[in-house]
Amino acid sequence: MTDDEHLRRELAASPRRVLDEVTSIVSQASAAILTFAPATAARRVKPDRSLVSAADEAAESLIGTALARLMPGVPIISEEAPAAHAPPGKHFILVDPLDGTREFLAGSDEFTVNVAILVDGAPVLGVVAAPALGQVWRGIIGTGAERLDLAPGAAPAQARAVTAVTPRHGSTRLVAALSRSHLDERTAAFVAGLPRIERLICGSSLKFCRLAEGSADLYPRLAPVREWDIAAGHAVLAASGGTVTAPDGAALTYGRATEGFLVPGFVAWGDPALAGQFGVSASR
């Protein structure tokens, strides 16, 4: 049995077990991040001018080792291991060990740990943890999404509360979740053209989670973004009943190794009906 076949069978036969295992790994990485004091954590600027800290690297090492043990042979594409990036197979994993490094180093609680499992270029399972908030959002396409109140380092069975999450529908006033650090001109112009719009400024992949739990309606990003930044949030939102598309409404595909794992842009919607009503404007 190939690694792809083994993972496919695991996801089909025991999806909850796989979800719990990935959640435990993400929880352990969250605890590792919190051992670093943001003000004094070692940091450097990468060639793409983004920041990386010692906390990113610690989480990266922990997640990579644990996932390789859990799913041996399945390619792991991670932000902090660019030399290892190669065209993945039918099944692969996308990891952002610390999304929102600038927020973390500034002492904000708006940073996350993200892991997604992808099949045939689409996210099928995602886990997003907010270590400083003690919360985890997770989901599997076709089975729903939920938020866990979970202390960093704890196993899912130790969650203080588990709440099913779903997007809201029929809102008379749109709430757009927008990036605190990466709001580009095209995205700002798209949002300005929407009627009855409110803005929710937020860091990291938490924006996807706000849509999934119904506190925002859309999250547009019309500038390029790396796949590992959005795959886990995409999976959580889609599992909750929302949708994520390219700006022109086409399906997003992942595993674009020849393009540096860049997605040219996207619009995430809590209510898929809104995509048909407003989404076309995003491609203008």
Taking domain 174-283, whether its CATH number is 3.40.190.80 is answered by yes
Sign of torsion, CA 57 130 31 10? Answer: negative
Fold of the 3-165 domain: Fructose-1,6-Bisphosphatase; Chain A, domain 1 (3.30.540)
Instruction: Give the pLDDT of residue 282.
Output: 45
pLDDT tens digit string along 30-48?
Answer: 999 999 999 999 999 988 7
User: pTM for the complete prediction?
Assistant: 0.94
Give the residue range(s) of CATH 3.40.190.80 domains in the chain: 174-283
**64's tokens:** 């990579």
Element (H, E) at 212: helix 206-212
Per DSSP, the three-state class of 177 is: strand
pLDDT, the chain, mean: 91
Considering only CA atoms, give the Rg of the chain: 18
pLDDT per 10-residue tile (average), the chain, 284 residues: 71 92 98 97 89 96 96 90 65 94 95 96 97 98 97 98 96 90 89 92 95 97 95 98 93 91 95 79 44
Whether 218 and 270 have beta carbons less than 8 Å apart is answered as yes
CATH 3.30.540.10 domain span(s) along the chain: 3-165
Question: What is residue 1's predicted lDDT score, i.e. its pLDDT?
Answer: 55
State residue 9's pLDDT score: 81
